[in-house]
């Protein structure tokens, strides 16, 4: 009985110290996807301020999903309702002043034309995003596509 209790205590202590050392390791070395040490940099998206509404931004390459030039707080997209389409659909864009969704957004994956927004283009935020004041975590040498400079 006594032995059993001792073994339990030892196992418990081992688990705790393993937990602590793993925790310390994780906190010591936060790495970017490219393997750079980015410890100490703020990674919580909630800490950043979303840009103020502005005119549509210039694109960097021809097939770029345009950035969202306005706030999207509370614009929800559910199975039954898509707030973005409230302004961006072909039936609403004239009254709202929004750009109508691209013609390409009506094609299914086999290239067949549909009469409504394609399911693969339904979740707008998969591709279209607003910008924040976050600084790049790593150096970036990307240049605008030649035809758009």
Which residues are at the interface with ligand HEC (CB under 6 A)? 55-56, 63, 65-66, 68-70, 72, 75, 82-88, 96-99, 101-102, 104-105, 117, 121-128
CB nearer to ligand HEC: pick between 11 and 127: 127
**Those residues with Cβ within 8 angstroms of residue 92's Cβ, 6 or more apart along the chain or in another chain:** 85, 86, 98
What is the number of alpha carbons within 13 Å of residue 36 lying toward its C-beta?
9
**CB of 54: closest distance to ligand HEC in angstroms?**
9
Nearer to ligand HEC, 50 or 128 (CB): 128
Angle at 116 between CA 113 and CA 117, to 5 degrees: 90
Q: Which is nearer to ligand HEC, 19 or 119 (CB)?
A: 119
Is residue 110 classed as helix, strand or coil in its secondary structure? Answer: coil
Least separation in angstroms between CB 71 and ligand HEC:
9
Least distance from ligand HEC to the Cβ atom of residue 53, Å = 8
- Please report how close the Cβ of residue 125 comes to ligand HEC at its closest, in angstroms: 6
Rounded Cα gap, residues 6 and 29, in angstroms:
35
The 3-class secondary structure across 15-80, one letter per residue, is HHHHHHHHHHHHHHCCECCCCCECCCCCCCHHHCCECCCCCCCCCCCCCCCCCCCCCCCCCCECCC
Cβ-based nearer residue to ligand HEC, 72 or 137: 72
Rounded least distance, CB 61 to ligand HEC, Å:
10
Q: Which is nearer to ligand HEC, 21 or 131 (CB)?
A: 131
């Amino acid at each position: 009985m006594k032995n059993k209790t001792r073994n339990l205590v030892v196992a418990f202590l081992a688990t705790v110290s393993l937990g602590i050392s793993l925790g310390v390791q994780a906190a010591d070395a936060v790495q970017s996807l490219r393997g750079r040490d980015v410890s100490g940099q703020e990674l919580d998206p909630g800490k950043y301020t979303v840009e103020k509404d502005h005119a549509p931004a210039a694109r960097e390459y021809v097939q770029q999903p345009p950035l969202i030039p306005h706030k999207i707080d509370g614009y929800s997209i559910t199975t039954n309702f898509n707030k973005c389409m409230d302004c961006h659909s072909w039936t609403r864009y004239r009254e709202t002043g929004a750009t109508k969704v691209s013609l390409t957004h009506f094609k299914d994956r086999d290239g067949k034309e549909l009469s409504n927004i394609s399911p693969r283009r339904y979740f707008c935020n998969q591709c279209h995003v607003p910008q924040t004041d976050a600084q790049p975590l790593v150096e970036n040498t990307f240049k605008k596509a030649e035809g758009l400079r």
